[in-house]
């Protein structure tokens, strides 16, 4: 399969999940402004929504929406333990967090990255982001991960969107429990591999 990505965007979550699951895949960088891929494909033709992430599956189908892709990847390699067993309460808890991260964090960040967003609305969007991070931080008190005792795709998605704080003058270190989760994430070799693959971390020079 092939992941269409833009460095550090929400597609990083899918990249990390694929690395964690140990699924072989290709990556294709997308110029999100020009809507063209590294190999010259018209990105509108790949995804009429014009956004990453996109997974092109081996049968040629494409699948979009970060929360759906994360669950798809987790289900391809259940032994990687990225998603609790379907139908359990923890399974719905992970879905609850995926939806929260998608709507209350990811999509509240979106207008902050758009030049045309008016100043008044920037204030509202930023407040929404701050409120959502504070809530996540409260939930994480005394916990290692968002759901139960297990690392899941929800933690991967949270880590990815919390990386965007630095572009919006939001210091995520102000939330100690979130900060600890981020430190645990950064210590995972597969997270580092995925970040290196997107050029977000430079490989160590010999």
Window of 50-58, 142-150, 170-178, 189-197 that interacts with ligand GSH by CB under 6 A: 50-58
- Minimum CB separation from ligand GSH for residue 52, in Å? 4
Candidates 114, 192, 67; CA nearest to 75 is 67
Question: Does 65 contact ligand GSH by CB under 6 A?
Answer: yes
Question: Does 50 contact ligand GSH by CB under 6 A?
Answer: yes
Identified binder of ligand GSH from the candidate list 103, 110, 138, 183, rule CB under 6 A: 110
Question: Does 66 contact ligand GSH by CB under 6 A?
Answer: yes
Residue 36 token pair? 């063209």
Contact present, 70 and 64 (Cβ < 8 Å): no
Question: Does 191 contact ligand GSH by CB under 6 A?
Answer: no
- Minimum CB separation from ligand GSH for residue 204, in Å? 28
Using the CB atoms, write b or e for 64-97: b if 16+ within 10 Å: bebbebbbbbbebbeebebbbeeeeebbebbbeb
31 forms beta bridges with 36
Please state, in angstroms and rounded to a whole number, the distance separating the CA atoms of residues 18 and 182.
19
Q: Which H or E run contains 13?
A: helix 11-21
Identified binder of ligand GSH from the candidate list 10, 17, 125, 181, rule CB under 6 A: 10
- Minimum CB separation from ligand GSH for residue 139, in Å? 21
Question: Does 1 contact ligand GSH by CB under 6 A?
Answer: no
Please state, in angstroms and rounded to a whole number, the distance separating the CA atoms of residues 143 and 191.
20
- Minimum CB separation from ligand GSH for residue 99, in Å? 10
Total interface residues for ligand GSH by CB under 6 A: 12
Please state, in angstroms and rounded to a whole number, the distance separating the CA atoms of residues 7 and 29.
8
Question: Residues 6 or more apart from 161 whose CB is under 8 A from it?
Answer: 10, 101, 105, 106, 109
Identified binder of ligand GSH from the candidate list 17, 102, 105, 191, rule CB under 6 A: 102
Question: Does 32 contact ligand GSH by CB under 6 A?
Answer: yes
The count of C-alpha atoms lying within 13 angstroms of the C-alpha of 178, restricted to the half-sphere facing its C-beta, is 23
Question: Does 70 contact ligand GSH by CB under 6 A?
Answer: no
Identified binder of ligand GSH from the candidate list 21, 52, 146, 158, rule CB under 6 A: 52
Chain residues in the site for ligand GSH (CB under 6 A): 6, 9-10, 32, 50-53, 65-66, 102, 110
């Amino acid at each position: 399969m092939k992941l269409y990505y833009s460095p550090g965007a929400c597609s990083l979550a899918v990249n990390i999940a694929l690395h964690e699951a140990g699924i072989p895949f290709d990556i294709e960088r997308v110029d999100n402004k020009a809507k063209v891929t590294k190999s010259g494909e018209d990105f509108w033709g790949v995804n009429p929504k014009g956004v990453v992430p996109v997974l092109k599956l081996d049968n040629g189908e494409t699948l979009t929406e970060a929360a759906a892709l994360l669950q798809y990847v987790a289900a391809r390699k259940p032994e990687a333990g990225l998603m609790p067993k379907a139908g359990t309460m923890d399974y719905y808890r992970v879905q609850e967090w995926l939806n929260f991260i998608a709507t209350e964090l990811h999509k509240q960040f979106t207008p902050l990255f758009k030049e045309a967003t008016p100043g008044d609305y920037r204030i509202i969007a930023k407040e929404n982001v701050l409120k959502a991070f504070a809530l996540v931080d409260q939930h994480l008190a005394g916990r290692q991960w968002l759901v139960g005792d297990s690392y899941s795709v929800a933690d991967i998605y949270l880590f990815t969107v919390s990386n965007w704080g630095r572009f919006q003058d939001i210091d995520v270190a102000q939330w100690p429990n979130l900060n600890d989760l981020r430190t645990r994430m950064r210590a995972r070799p597969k997270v580092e591999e995925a970040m290196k693959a997107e050029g977000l971390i430079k490989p160590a020079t010999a």
